[in-house]
């Protein structure tokens, strides 16, 4: 027995079960409609665990609780689930170090506006009041100024629950706050002393749905007027595709007025069907294709450098909240904002356009014109693919094409690559939403995000595309354990160029004639040729190294069968060819 375990005092009396505050907390999660509580556990949670054990014993309905072995994993899984279902989940972490460890992923959830309820515990009496929480709360887990100090910059709101009497109200309100615009993680710390208190059960009230806000009819009318009087409008979308309703509404709007669509280079989702004749690829600027109006759809950073917005082009921003509080600096160049629920706003625009009527001949003409630009884009993809098939080594076009040919049609792809990312976005095909997900920024979150997506869509094949350097930043062992325990196998493909290629690229950009280049003496670049795939053996997963083009298809087939048998598969694909960083 370890020392800490021996220090637990025998004087703890079990609170008046089932009416203790652990039950209150579980009731608050039920009232918020939380489906999953994902935890990287700590010693503050026995009151909740008791309530969960009673929930199971009594066959009551309530959230599913799942443990995992890393904070990045807990937060990333919750984030992935929400991206698929649109529903907020709860994450329980350990105080102090647990919060610090989870901070990167929590900050990413804030940047991506993913609602999430994050909680950890604390002690308010340190064993001085008859209740012994364990000496670790005194010796190891103090945070001067309060636990919330650690996480405040990463969340939209952080607070300590004042008492057991306010626990239910605090948790429900925090959950509601997380779902208000801008959505994001909120944090609550609750003392064990509060949680162990016998408590009166609150009145059960299911939380009402978060209202969807909409722009005024006058603003919709003004934008419709601007669209109608433009020569040619363009839609530039960044982050709408997590919401399937927005994806469909965007197609309707584009078709209604023959508006071509371009996606932002760093888009986090598949936002528009690629086979559609109005899809023009990534990063097309309006003035280069003769457009004089651009509708930025959930697109917060459209220009680079930031003030390099096009001249003589009207810019209209459509977003839940266009001015992002997490950005230090932002330039949209917009002459008008439509703020409110994006899918609803797009539908309102389409309805209004239809009701005021459109010039059928002009729309036909525009559709044919932009359709020919779509054909040009398609031809450039086909050309890149042809060149890739003549390459000596495996490249992105070949890899992506082979994956999509061999895997089931409904495969979802999570992308945590760096130099390969633009090519992956370019060559992956999708006609529906939820096919492509870029992993949140900050290396190490991709495998967690992929597991969350798999958790919410267990029947789909979820493929993780990941750089070799990035693979090392991920909590792979706990992720593999989670996948095995939960029956959620992933197909992980390591795009192995044996280096941090991006660092080399950037170094050369800054010092084209520098010493590092001349002497071939780079720093922050080299990686050895590790056998990444072998990690799969920790859970008896499938592993294969793939070096030759001729082996690729079979390797993917083998991996597919392993995943179908419930085993995570890791393919270590050697891809030495340099790729420019865009």
Ligand X SMILES: Cc1ncc(C[n+]2csc(CCOP(=O)(O)OP(=O)(O)O)c2C)c(N)n1
Q: Which does 76 bind (CB under 5 to 8 A by kind): Mg ion, ligand X, none?
A: none
Rg over alpha carbons for the chain, rounded to the nearest Å, is 26
Q: Which of 211, 153, 210 is nearest to 187 (CA)?
A: 153
Total interface residues for Mg ion by CB under 5 A? 4
Pairing relation of β-strands 569-574 and 542-546?
Answer: parallel
Q: Give strand pairing partners of 467.
A: 495
Shortest reach from residue 73's CB to ligand X, in Å:
15
Shortest reach from residue 223's CB to Mg ion, in Å:
44
286 is a contact residue toward ligand X (CB under 6 A): no
502 is a contact residue toward ligand X (CB under 6 A): yes
Instruction: Please report how the helices 21-31 and 46-57 are oriented relative to each other, as an axis angle in degrees rounded to 10.
Output: 70
Q: Cα–chain-centroid distance for residue 479?
A: 16
497 is a contact residue toward ligand X (CB under 6 A): yes
Choices 151-159, 293-301, 358-366, 497-505 (CB under 6 A): range interacting with ligand X: 497-505
DSSP state of 241: T
444 is a contact residue toward ligand X (CB under 6 A): yes
467 is a contact residue toward Mg ion (CB under 5 A): yes
475 is a contact residue toward ligand X (CB under 6 A): no
Shortest reach from residue 470's CB to Mg ion, in Å:
7
468 is a contact residue toward ligand X (CB under 6 A): yes
Q: Which of 135, 195, 399, 418 binds ligand X (CB under 6 A)?
A: 418
State how far the Cα of 177 lies from the Cα of 210, in Å rounded to an integer: 9
Residue 450 phi, psi dihedral angles, 5° rounding: -60, -40
468 is a contact residue toward Mg ion (CB under 5 A): yes
State the burial class of residue 200 (Cβ atoms within 10 Å of its Cβ: 0-12, 13-18, 19+): exposed
Shortest reach from residue 382's CB to ligand X, in Å:
25
Q: Which of 41, 184, 215, 469 binds ligand X (CB under 6 A)?
A: 469
Joined together, the tokens standing for residue 1 give: 């027995």
443 is a contact residue toward ligand X (CB under 6 A): yes
Shortest reach from residue 443's CB to ligand X, in Å:
4
**CB-based closest residue to ligand X:** 467
Q: Which does 444 bind (CB under 5 to 8 A by kind): ligand X, Mg ion, none?
A: ligand X
445 is a contact residue toward ligand X (CB under 6 A): no
370 is a contact residue toward ligand X (CB under 6 A): no
State how far the Cα of 212 lies from the Cα of 259, in Å rounded to an integer: 26
State how far the Cα of 9 lies from the Cα of 531, in Å rounded to an integer: 48
Shortest reach from residue 522's CB to ligand X, in Å:
12
Choices 9-17, 55-63, 377-385, 465-473 (CB under 5 A): range interacting with Mg ion: 465-473
Residue 106, C-beta contacts closer than 8 angstroms, at least 6 positions apart: 75, 116, 118, 151, 154, 155, 185, 187
499 is a contact residue toward ligand X (CB under 6 A): yes
Q: Which does 473 bind (CB under 5 to 8 A by kind): ligand X, Mg ion, none?
A: ligand X
Q: Which of 96, 102, 469, 475 binds Mg ion (CB under 5 A)?
A: 469
DSSP state of 269: B
Taking the least distance from each CB to ligand X, the nearer of 295 and 494 is: 494
DSSP state of 274: T
449 is a contact residue toward ligand X (CB under 6 A): no
State how far the Cα of 69 lies from the Cα of 475, in Å rounded to an integer: 9
Q: Cα–chain-centroid distance for residue 164?
A: 33
415 is a contact residue toward ligand X (CB under 6 A): no
Strands of 157-160's sheet in order across: 64-67, 36-39, 89-92, 116-122, 185-191, 157-160
Q: Give strand pairing partners of 261.
A: 235, 279
Binding mask 480-509 for Mg ion (x = CB under 5 A): -----------------x------------
**Which residues sit at the interface with ligand X, rule CB under 6 A?**
417-420, 442-444, 467-470, 473, 497, 499-502
């Amino acid at each position: 027995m370890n020392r800490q375990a021996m220090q637990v005092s025998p004087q703890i009396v079990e609170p008046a079960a089932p009416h203790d505050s652990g039950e209150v907390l579980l009731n608050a999660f039920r009232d918020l409609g939380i489906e999953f509580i994902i935890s990287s556990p700590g010693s503050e949670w026995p009151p909740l665990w008791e309530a969960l054990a009673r929930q199971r014993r009594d066959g009551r309905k309530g959230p599913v609780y799942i443990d995992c072995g890393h904070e990045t994993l807990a937060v990333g899984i919750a984030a992935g689930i929400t991206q698929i279902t649109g529903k907020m989940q709860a994450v329980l972490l350990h105080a102090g170090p647990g919060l610090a460890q989870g901070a990167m992923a929590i900050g990413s959830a804030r940047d991506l506006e993913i609602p999430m309820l994050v909680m950890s515990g604390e002690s308010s009496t340190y064993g001085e009041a008859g209740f012994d929480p364990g000496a670790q709360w005194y010796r190891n887990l103090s945070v001067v100024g309060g636990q919330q100090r650690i996480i405040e910059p990463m969340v939209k709101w952080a607070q300590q629950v004042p008492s057991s009497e306010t626990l239910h109200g605090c948790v429900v309100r925090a959950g509601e706050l997380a779902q208000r615009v801008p959505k994001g993680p909120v944090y609550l710390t609750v003392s064990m002393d509060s949680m162990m208190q016998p408590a009166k059960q609150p009145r059960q009230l299911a939380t009402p749905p978060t209202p969807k806000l909409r722009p005024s009819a006058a603003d919709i009318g003004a934008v419709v007027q601007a669209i109608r009087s433009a020569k040619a409008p363009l839609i530039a979308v960044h982050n709408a595709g997590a919401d399937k309703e927005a994806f469909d509404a965007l197609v309707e709007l584009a078709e209604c007025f023959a508006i071509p669509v371009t996606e932002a280079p760093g888009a986090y989702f598949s936002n528009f069907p690629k086979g559609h004749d109005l899809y023009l690829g990534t990063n097309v600027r309006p003035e280069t294709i003769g457009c004089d109006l651009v509708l930025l759809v959930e697109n917060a950073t459209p220009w680079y450098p930031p003030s390099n917005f096009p001249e003589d082009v009207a810019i209209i921003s459509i977003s839940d909240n266009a001015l992002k509080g997490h950005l230090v600096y932002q330039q949209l160049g917009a002459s008008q904002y439509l703020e409110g629920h994006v899918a609803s706003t797009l539908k309102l625009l389409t309805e209004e356009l239809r009701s005021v009527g459109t010039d059928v001949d002009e729309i036909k003409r525009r559709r044919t014109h932009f359709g020919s630009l779509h054909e040009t884009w398609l031809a450039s993809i086909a050309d890149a693919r042809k060149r890739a098939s003549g390459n000596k080594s495996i490249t992105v076009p070949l890899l992506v094409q082979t994956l999509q040919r061999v895997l089931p049609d409904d495969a979802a792809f999570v992308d945590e690559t760096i130099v390969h990312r633009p090519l992956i976005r370019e060559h992956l095909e999708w006609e529906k939403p939820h096919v492509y997900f870029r992993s949140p920024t900050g290396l190490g979150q991709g495998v967690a995000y992929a597991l969350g997506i798999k958790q919410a869509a267990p029947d789909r094949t979820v493929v993780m595309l990941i750089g070799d350097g990035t693979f090392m930043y991920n909590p792979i062992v706990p992720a593999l354990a989670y996948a095995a325990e939960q029956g959620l196998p992933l197909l992980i493909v390591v795009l192995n160029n044996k280096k941090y290629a991006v660092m080399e690229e950037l170094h050369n950009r800054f010092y084209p004639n520098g010493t590092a280049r001349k002497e071939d003496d780079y720093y922050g670049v080299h990686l050895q040729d590790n056998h990444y795939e072998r990690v799969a053996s920790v859970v008896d997963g499938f592993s294969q190294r793939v070096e030759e083009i001729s082996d690729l298809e079979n390797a993917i087939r083998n991996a597919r069968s392993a995943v179908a048998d419930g085993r995570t598969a890791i393919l270590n694909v050697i891809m030495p060819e340099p790729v420019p960083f865009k």
